[in-house]
Amino acid sequence: MARAFNFSAGPAMLPEAVMRRAESEFLDWQNTGMSVMEMSHRSKEYMAVAHQMEADLREVMAIPDNYKVLFVHGGASLQFAAIPMNLAEQNDTVDYINTGVWSTKAIKEASRFAKVNVVAGGDEENPTEIPAISDWKFSADAKYIHICSNETITGLEFQEEQLEVVFAQGKPVIADMSSNIMCREIDVSKYAMIYAGAQKNIGPAGLAIVIVREDLLGNARSDTPTLMNWDVYANNESMFNTPATYAWYLAGLVFDWIKTTGGVKHIAEVNKRKAAKLYDYIDASGFYSNSIKLEQRSVMNVTFSLKDSDLDAAFLEQSKAAGLLSLKGHKAFGGMRASIYNAMPEEGVDALIGFMQKFATENA
Ligand code: PMP
């Protein structure tokens, strides 16, 4: 069977070239007679894999030298608690902008470890736009400002103009970039800390990435569990205990793939084209619609509904049969969602649009 186009929000499709390389190295990595999966994480061979992977990530994201890259356990979700534990005391105020389900989860967890001021949002579960900047209420003494730069469930993404207002507060800015990391070039130096679960734009599940400015390390509360303390990762090359070795390796292959196919700059152009053609088609179709504010539509997660939800089941069944997988939207938002991360080839988006056209004609 040929590989399908998988529109899952995560774990998500990985580049075919990466999967083929992993396959070719699966049983015997570079004449070691072992799979990477079978190597000691402390071995010379594995350390070479780990160092190369970090160097490649630093290169593709242009991460400045005064930032540490940590490879952590527990997904992005464990960072929801780790962030306040590493940066705030129980009575400190921390600012959060609420733009949807993932922000809400981050807020809920942080509220257990600090005083959360919700700068804006939170009135609706699934907002379709980011609250107006004029309504944002930052606190004077916040230890940091947290945003979810792309809400995966609705496909709602911060715009540059709003990010600039966040940066202008002069506070450490923390961003959950789980679903849009490396989708375009960013200036890492504007952020104090960036984090992301791997299973969308980085590699397989089981790994999360923390990029943190060095001066923020060393402040974890004394009751911070060892494996949630960023310092511990920073001082042990993220190997205080056994890391998710195979996930690291595969992520390394993805970084190498990005590097050798033109870098994030090139991927960003492709991403922009993919998203634009899909949104353009949805808007023009008269059959499908997207409810997210125009300028804030995600370039990675494209949500849409059919004009008649009675057709949803048929749409999902027929799209699957056509090799277009996992288009069902998140249950919290309903409808459909096409996640078109870096690894989704442009032909995948073309095939989806072709299918949507055909389905619309047949069910007009
Ligand atoms: N933040 C965002 C924006 C996400 O999309 C997700 C996962 N879908 C998470 C956090 C949680 O990630 P994890 O499952 O790695 O904890």
ipTM of the complex: 0.99
- Establish whether 42 is an annotated binding residue: yes
> How is residue 206 written in tokens?
């089981």
Task: For residue 56, indicate whether it is catalytic.
Answer: no
Please give the distance, rounded to the nearest whole angstrom, from the Cα atom of residue 284 to the centre of ligand 1.
Answer: 31
Please give the distance, rounded to the nearest whole angstrom, from the Cα atom of residue 30 to the centre of ligand 1.
Answer: 34
Nearest atom within ligand 1 for CA of residue 74: 16
In the predicted model, residues of the chain with pLDDT beneath 70 are 1
| Residue 289: CB atoms within 10 Å | 14
Task: For residue 200, indicate whether it is catalytic.
Answer: yes
What one-letter code names the amino acid at 306?
L
Which residues contact ligand 1 via a Cβ below 6 A? 10, 75-77, 102, 148, 152, 176, 178-179, 197, 208
Closest to 348 in 3D by CA, of 316, 322, 315: 322
Residue 1's pLDDT is 65
Cα–Cα–Cα angle for 262, 265, 271, nearest 5°?
100
pLDDT in tens, 228-256: 999 999 999 999 999 999 999 999 999 99
Task: For residue 29, indicate whether it is catalytic.
Answer: no
Substitution site in 71, 83, 102 for ligand 1 pocket (most atoms within 8 Å of beta carbon):
102
Q: What structural domains and CATH numbers belong to the chain?
A: 22-260 (3.40.640.10), 264-362 (3.90.1150.10)
Residue 232's pLDDT is 98
Whole-angstrom CA distances from 135 to 119, 120, 130, 132, 171 are: 8, 7, 10, 6, 18
pLDDT in tens, 89-132: 999 999 999 999 999 999 999 999 999 999 999 999 999 999 99
Considering 176, 257, 274, 328, which one is annotated as catalytic? 176
Element spanning 190, H or E: none
